[in-house]
Homo-oligomer: A and B are copies of this chain.
Amino acid sequence: MSNPRAAMLVIGDEILSGRTRDANMYHLAGALTKIGVDLAEVRVVADDAPAIVAAVRALSDNFDVVFTSGGIGPTHDDITADCIAEAFGRSIDVRPDARKLLEDHWRPRGVEITEARLRMARIPEGAVLIDNPVSVAPGFTVENVHVMAGVPSVFEAMVASVLPSLTGGTTLLSESLRIIRPEGDIAGPLRDLAQEYADLSFGSYPFSQNGIYGANVVVRGSEAPRVSEAMTRLAALFPDA
């Protein structure tokens, strides 16, 4: 049996203008190689609807699985979700469960839920949401296309959520904890915990916001009680964070 063949579509002007050097392609290529999926083609297109729609259709038709990165944020040039809907002839609207994810995350933080932010809850009809342990706004899967954020830490977290479904392995469950500590303080205790729970995977996705440094730590595993147990231990390690 030959390996599944994957393609990637990078959406956005940052790389084409030379402002940003690619990181997501490099990350995905390495992650797919590790699990025996061949990344066979990558395309990079601008924030241009006809170009995105044409590329999504071509790649979805020609490859087993497609990953997109970029264009699912709150600004007017974030048009990926609408383009995916168009490419597959599906309707798109703000979806209640996605909206609730955003509201539950932002309300306690006093963040106003503007119309722009609500764009991030626009999901094509029939899509499956992809967990975003870093900044909550979800990615989504339509047919064989996984639609993910362009910010590298979010992209990487979403890739980790999606990859288990590719290998035919058991689907992984995840829980995440937001820890307000510099990642350097988290690393040591987290490594010890990961050694103790060798059957689980531990990911740390650092952030800084308004001068506050922290990380979203994600625990993944196939058995819910194990994941919960490890998460309880993790929380106990950082009681006031």
- Determine if A25 and B15 form an interchain contact, defined as CB atoms under 8 angstroms apart: yes
Contacts of A25 in B (CB 8 A): 15, 22, 44
Contacts of A27 in B (CB 8 A): 18
**Interface range on chain A (Cβ under 8 Å from partner):** 20 to 34
| CB nearest to A43 among chain B residues | B43
- Determine if B42 and A44 form an interchain contact, defined as CB atoms under 8 angstroms apart: yes
| CB nearest to A29 among chain B residues | B18
Interface positions, chain A 10-57, Cβ under 8 Å from B, are: 15-18, 21-23, 25-33, 38-46, 48, 51
Contact status of A41 and B39, CB under 8 A, knowing A18-B26, A32-B18: no
- Determine if A22 and B17 form an interchain contact, defined as CB atoms under 8 angstroms apart: no
- Determine if B41 and A43 form an interchain contact, defined as CB atoms under 8 angstroms apart: yes
Contacts of A26 in B (CB 8 A): 15, 18, 21-22
| CB nearest to A14 among chain B residues | B29
- Determine if A18 and B44 form an interchain contact, defined as CB atoms under 8 angstroms apart: no
Interface positions, chain A 48-84, Cβ under 8 Å from B, are: 48, 51
* Alpha-carbon distance between A32 and B43 when the two chains are bound, in angstroms: 18
Q: A15-B42, A21-B21, A43-B44 are in contact. List 18 more A-B contacts (CB 8 A).
A: A15-B26, A16-B38, A16-B40, A16-B42, A17-B29, A17-B33, A17-B39, A18-B29, A18-B31, A18-B33, A21-B26, A25-B44, A40-B46, A41-B45, A41-B46, A41-B51, A42-B42, A42-B43
